[in-house]
Amino acid sequence: MDTLDLARLQFALTAGSHFLFVSLTIGLATLVAVVQTWATLTRSPVHERMTRFWGQLYVINYAMGIVTGLVMEFQIGLTWSGLTHFAGNVFGGALAMETLMAFFVESTFLAIWIFGWNRLNRWAHLAALWVVTITAYASAYWILVSNGFLQNPVGYRVVDGVLQLTDAAAVLTNPAAVRAFLHILCGSLVVAACFMAGVSAYHLRRRTGEQEFFRKSLRIGVSVTLPALVATASFGGVQFDLLQPTKLAAYQGDTEMMTRLQAEMTAAHGPGDYLPPTVLVMGGAIVMLLVFAVLLFMSMANFLLMMLPAAVRRFRLWHVLLTAMIPLPFVSMLAGWVFREVGRQPWVVYGLLTTEQALSDVSPAAVRLSLIAFGALFGVLIVLNTWLLARHARRGPDAVAIGRTSLPAEPAPVIAF
């Protein structure tokens, strides 16, 4: 592969990996905040323990997401300097706001929430978590403002070969950003709800204790999954009228339309291949829709089974299926990301800057080395995060460290004279 292909592969691997962490983080933050709100209002001991247990899993995933996010920031500057030089005046502010939200406001209030157990007033402690959740939404919004501009450039003018911002409101309310933001928020709820239901089903199947705890958690996960799926599909569907013509043609497999668009692009921008990889675009869309169909069918069945107390307690085959559902939303999210991003090729800013023009002046050896390094790092982080989540999920609520009022007593040292 040449330098451009290596750089694109590197960005695809790192961005896709980071997306896995982000989707679970946003969804879990919402569910934990809702559970803690109920615990604060009712002083329910079960819901307080649920907040601590699911909150600890959220913190583990959040920490790993921060590391991958830092790498993403470095990668844009190192590999895609042409993009920042050409369009940084327009979308750079949104990236800066995302950094402020994620690495300052969100992380600060998360630390207050973690260390504020049994120290803060219960309402102040709850408020800290809601600030964390809202800033997580804000971070996602700012990222999608940047991405929405790449998909659908608005509010700019070209001055001396670079873009200048002319209408901030148009950039902030870009339909390509706002609709995608709502789509991602709902999809993240699906990810987190399936995770909560699957982990709870694992404990119910194995009769590990805490049956009331995990029955309530399972019902929350199942109850949220179905409406979140419907909302995700609705906000995804309204984005189809914003698809770039080349992406739409590739998705539909319309060769006549693709031929016409290629001719129009060549006339407007000069010689080149202006069509996205049809196989990847169609493949991403097909996988996304097929997994959605499976999730929708299973979620409707899960919703009905949830109404039967005996099924929640003793239907082990259902418990196995719920646990097996955990990876499915991740697959659908990644497939949708491939459809959205690959379908924009060969443009990085659609109609204005090609991916080749955005590439930094780097050698194939340098990109190959960074690809290996980033690939290994992200691979280790994904494996480590999966292991930590599985380990702490299996151990159950009694092993949670967050909010613990006392530590297990250690044996007194033996002093010999």
Q: What is the pLDDT of residues 32-41, one digit of tens each?
A: 999 999 999 9
**pLDDT of the residue at 405:** 64
- Please, are residues 222 and 302 in contact by the beta-carbon 8 Å criterion? yes
6-21 burial string, b = 16+ CB within 10 Å, else e?
Answer: bbbebbeebbebbbbb
Q: DSSP assignment, residue 271? A: S
Instruction: Please give the distance of CA 253 from its chain centroid, rounded to a whole number.
Output: 29
Average pLDDT over residues 114-132: 92
The whole-angstrom separation of Cα 256 and Cα 253 is 9
The whole-angstrom separation of Cα 127 and Cα 107 is 14
Q: Where does the pLDDT of residue 3 fall: very low under 50, low under 70, confident under 90, or very high at 90 and above?
A: confident
* Residue % of the chain over a pLDDT of 90: 58
**pLDDT of the residue at 346:** 92
Q: DSSP assignment, residue 155? A: S
Q: Where does the pLDDT of residue 296 fall: very low under 50, low under 70, confident under 90, or very high at 90 and above?
A: very high
**pLDDT of the residue at 408:** 45
**pLDDT of the residue at 99:** 78
**pLDDT of the residue at 230:** 95
366-415 pLDDT, tens per residue? 888 888 888 888 888 889 989 999 999 998 888 888 777 654 444 444 44
Average pLDDT over residues 337-343: 92
The whole-angstrom separation of Cα 22 and Cα 29 is 11
175-229 pLDDT, tens per residue? 999 999 999 999 999 999 999 999 999 999 888 777 889 999 999 999 999 999 9
Alpha helix (H) residue ranges in 152-208: 168-172, 175-206
**pLDDT of the residue at 178:** 95
- Please, are residues 169 and 297 in contact by the beta-carbon 8 Å criterion? no
Mean pLDDT score across all residues of the chain: 88
The whole-angstrom separation of Cα 341 and Cα 401 is 40
- Please, are residues 276 and 342 in contact by the beta-carbon 8 Å criterion? yes
Task: Tell me the C-alpha to C-alpha distance, in Å, between residue 170 and each of 90, 152, 174, 177, 329.
Answer: 11, 11, 6, 11, 32
| CA nearest to 240, candidates 253, 225, 252, 255 | 252
pLDDT: which is higher, 15 or 208 = 15
In this predicted structure, the answer to whether residue 341 has a pLDDT above a threshold of 80 is yes
* pTM summary value: 0.90
**pLDDT of the residue at 396:** 86
Task: Tell me the C-alpha to C-alpha distance, in Å, between residue 215 and each of 19, 113, 225, 300, 302.
Answer: 29, 26, 16, 18, 13
- Is 344 in a helix, a strand, or coil? coil
Q: Average the pLDDT over each of 63-72, 109-118, 228-237 and give the range with the smallest value.
A: 63-72
**pLDDT of the residue at 316:** 87
Q: Which amino acid is present at 254?
A: D
133-174 pLDDT, tens per residue? 999 999 999 999 999 999 999 999 999 889 999 999 999 999
- Is 275 in a helix, a strand, or coil? coil
Burial class (CB in 10 A: 0-12, 13-18, 19+), 110: buried
